[in-house]
Amino acid sequence: MIIMNSEATKEEIANVVREIKKFGLKADISQGAYRTVIGLVGDESKIPFSHFAVLPGVKEARPVETPYKLISREYARMAEGETGNRIIKVGDVEIGGDEPVFIAGPCAIESKEQLFKTAEGVKKAGAHILRGGIFKPRTSVHSFQGLGGNGSEGASEALSWLREAGNRFELPVVTEIRGESQVDLVAEHVDIIQIGARNMYDQDLITKVARKGKPILYKRHFGAGIEEFLSFAEYIVAEENRDIILCERGILPLGKGRSYTRYTLDLSAVPAMRKETYLPVIVDPSHAAGRRDLIFDLSCASIAVGACGLIIETHHNPVEALVDSQQQITPDELKEVISACRQIHKAVQHCQRT
C-alpha cells in the first residue's frame, strides 16, 4: 500500500504506478479528497517498500500482509489446503494434539546421578519429555556454562547421559543449542533441538538447525514482538521443516523499581499466536517467573489460556542446583502442577469455542 502526500501531483502518482509495474504488480488508485492511496495487487514480497517510501510525493509505503506467510493460518488454508493445527509427533508424544504436553528436567545437567534421579522423578510425576541443559547461555563469562560450555569435551558425555536417561525412562529428550559448532553433535543425540530465547535472532544458527529435519523448540526472545518472532520462525519453514514448537517465556518487565518476576509472562501472546499460525505454542513459566512460588499459578494460567503444553525446570533437589536454583521445582511439586493443569484443560476444553 502506497499512501501519497495530500499535495502529491498527478505526475508523482503516475511515477509510483510506473515503478510498481516494473516489479510486475498491478496498481489500484484510490483518489480521495485529501490524498491518494495506491494499493498493490499481486505478490507484495517483490516490492522493496523502502524504495517507494522515498519516491517524490509518497507519505508512506508499506505491505498490508503479515511478514510471515508460510506459517500463517491463512496460507495453510489458501495455499496448501491444510485446515487444522499442526501436530508434532515425537515418539509416542503428540505436541499440539488433544492433551497438554509437559516437558520437565533440570536447568543444567550437573552429573549422571542428578540427571537420572530427576528424570525418574519427572516420569513418575507424569511428564512426557525430558529436558536437560548442556550448553548454558549465561550473562556472565564468570558463571558455570554447563557441562558442554566453553567447548569442553563434557558435551558428548552429557549428551549420552541424556539419551540414556530418555531411553531408560521412555521420555523423548530435548536440549538447547547455543552455537553452530554444536548442531551436528546435538542432532545425533536428541529428539528435539531447542533454540533458546537469546539465539532467537540468530538466523544462521536457525537455518543450520532447521536443516537437520528434527522438531525444534523455538523460544521467543524477551525483546521480540510477536510479529518478529513469527517472522523468524519463517526461517525454519523456509528450510522445509514445519515441526516447530513455539515457546513463550516472558518478555522484558516494566523498568520501574523492584521487579517481582524476572520477566513478564505474555500469556495473551498464546491465543494471539494461535490465531495467526497453525503451529503449537507452549509456555515456560520457570524463566518468566524466576521464582518457584509462582510456577503453579502461572502453569495453571498457561493451560487455561490455551497453551499446548509447558516446559518446567525441575530438579530432584533445587537447593543444590548449580544454575537457577531459585526457580526449579521438585518432582513432587511438578506432579501437583500437572494434576491441576489436566483438570483445567478438561474444564476449558469443555467450554472453549474455536
β 129-131/173-177 pair status: parallel
The angle formed by the CA atoms of residues 329, 137 and 332, to the nearest 5 degrees, is 10
If binding is defined by CB under 8 A, does position 185 make contact with a copy of itself? Answer: no
d(CA 193, CA 60): 41
Residues 6+ apart with CB under 8 A from 85: 96, 274, 278, 279, 280
Structural contact between residues 139 and 181, judged by C-beta atoms closer than 8 angstroms: no
If binding is defined by CB under 8 A, does position 84 make contact with a copy of itself? Answer: no
If binding is defined by CB under 8 A, does position 259 make contact with a copy of itself? Answer: yes
Identify which range of 91-99, 115-123, 161-169, 193-201 contacts a copy of itself by CB under 8 A.
Answer: 193-201
DSSP-assigned letter for residue 87: -
Helix, strand, or coil here: 275? helix
Grid cell digits, residue 147: 557441562
Please pick, from the candidates 246, 265, 282, 308, the single residue that binds a copy of itself as defined by CB under 8 A. Answer: 265
Smallest gap from Cβ 109 to a copy of itself, in A, equals 16
d(CA 174, CA 194): 7
If binding is defined by CB under 8 A, does position 320 make contact with a copy of itself? Answer: yes
Q: How many CB atoms lie within 10 A of CB 226?
A: 19
If binding is defined by CB under 8 A, does position 346 make contact with a copy of itself? Answer: yes
Question: Which neighbouring-strand residues pair with 114?
Answer: none
If binding is defined by CB under 8 A, does position 42 make contact with a copy of itself? Answer: yes
Of 90 and 337, CB closest to a copy of itself = 337
If binding is defined by CB under 8 A, does position 240 make contact with a copy of itself? Answer: no
Please pick, from the candidates 15, 157, 201, 212, the single residue that binds a copy of itself as defined by CB under 8 A. Answer: 201
If binding is defined by CB under 8 A, does position 190 make contact with a copy of itself? Answer: no
Smallest gap from Cβ 238 to a copy of itself, in A, equals 5
Identify which range of 87-95, 116-124, 184-192, 254-262 contacts a copy of itself by CB under 8 A.
Answer: 254-262
Burial class of residue 104 (count of CB atoms within 10 Å of its CB; 0-12, 13-18, 19+): buried
If binding is defined by CB under 8 A, does position 234 make contact with a copy of itself? Answer: yes
d(CA 177, CA 5): 49
If binding is defined by CB under 8 A, does position 267 make contact with a copy of itself? Answer: yes
Burial class of residue 16 (count of CB atoms within 10 Å of its CB; 0-12, 13-18, 19+): buried
Identify which range of 121-129, 156-164, 241-249, 299-307 contacts a copy of itself by CB under 8 A.
Answer: 299-307
Please pick, from the candidates 205, 209, 308, 334, the single residue that binds a copy of itself as defined by CB under 8 A. Answer: 205
- Residue 112 φ then ψ, to 5°: -65, -40
Structural contact between residues 93 and 128, judged by C-beta atoms closer than 8 angstroms: yes
Please pick, from the candidates 123, 128, 131, 178, the single residue that binds a copy of itself as defined by CB under 8 A. Answer: 178
Please pick, from the candidates 20, 109, 158, 321, the single residue that binds a copy of itself as defined by CB under 8 A. Answer: 321
Q: Per CB under 8 A, which of residues 103..162 are in contact with a copy of itself?
A: 137-142, 144
Smallest gap from Cβ 41 to a copy of itself, in A, equals 4
Of 9 and 259, CB closest to a copy of itself = 259
Of 68 and 165, CB closest to a copy of itself = 68
